Copies of this chain bind each other. A is one copy, B any other.
Amino acid sequence: MAGILYGVGVGPGDPELLTIKAVNTLKAADVVVAPKAKDTGESTALSVVRPYLPSHTDIVKMVFPMVKGKETLAGAWSENSREILGYLQEGKKVAFITLGDPMLYSTYGYVLKNLRDCGHEIVTIPGITSYAAIAAMTGITLAEGDEALTIVPAVTDEKNLERILETADNLVILKAYRNYQQIVERLKESGHMRDAVMVSRCGLPEERICHELESIGEEGIDYLSTIIAKKR
């Protein structure tokens, strides 16, 4: 049997927010590849899919370091891609799991680029994003009518963020942990604080919801934090 690579979006954290297709794929996979940021610590994506994995599934944790030095990243990524290719060449069904959606700010995008032309079939399964889950939970719509929605990671450079804030109707800021207070200042200046909400680890046991963005100190922000803000 020819090996197949599945990129599986596992959603924001609630195991019930996986799609039927994702669950069926995970149940049939020979190998589940779980990315994590550090050697120590668990893979959050893995904890989400655990209830669905049969006992015979091989679980392979791969470290995808989240540092800014491009060479370290490229090295880790291509090494990980080679390991995945090895499983595919053994004819295995490999499911690469990723929190949220695999085509939006995911390490899977890089694995896909490395393996796109490897000769094995690749199937990508979309996932529920954190911001869609937060909008559903809080009742704050993401966009209506002819409004636009802009999604931006907090790591974007300040000029880019300012340019976006000048014009955005509806805004989602992902991974708002590194420069949280600076972002809140900018949101205040640009009039985006109405209906603003910050949610950390949405759908996970440690979930935190905050409608008073200014009440949070930088030290209290988790890596998986998302802000929804609207200009009215």
Contact = CB atoms under 8 A, between A and B. Distances in A.
Interface in A110-140: 110, 112, 116, 122, 124-129, 132-133, 135-137, 139-140
Given A17-B21, A19-B18, A132-B101, A122 B139 contact: yes
Given A126-B133, A132-B103, A109 B144 contact: yes
A230 to B, nearest CB: 12
B150 A148 contact: yes
Kindly state the interface size class of chain A when it binds its partner: 35 or more
Given A23-B20, A124-B137, A141-B103, A149 B150 contact: yes
B150 A150 contact: yes
B7 A16 contact: no
Interface stretch (A34-42, A153-161, A211-219): A153-161
B11 A16 contact: no
A144 B24 contact: no
A103 B143 CA distance: 7
A139 B102 CA distance: 10
Interface in A1-26: 7, 9, 11, 14-21, 23-24
A164 interface: yes
A88 interface: no
A146 interface: yes
Nearest to A100: B132
A126 B132 contact: yes
A142 B163 CA distance: 20
A20 B24 contact: no
Contact of A17 (B19, B139, B153): B19
A25 to B, nearest CB: 10
A20 B21 contact: no
Nearest to A135: B103
Given A21-B17, A104-B132, A104-B149, A139 B124 contact: yes
Contacts of A142: 101, 103-104
Given A16-B19, A18-B19, A102 B136 contact: yes
Interface of A: 7, 9, 11, 14-21, 23-24, 101-105, 109-110, 112, 116, 122, 124-129, 132-133, 135-137, 139-153, 155-157, 160, 163-164, 167
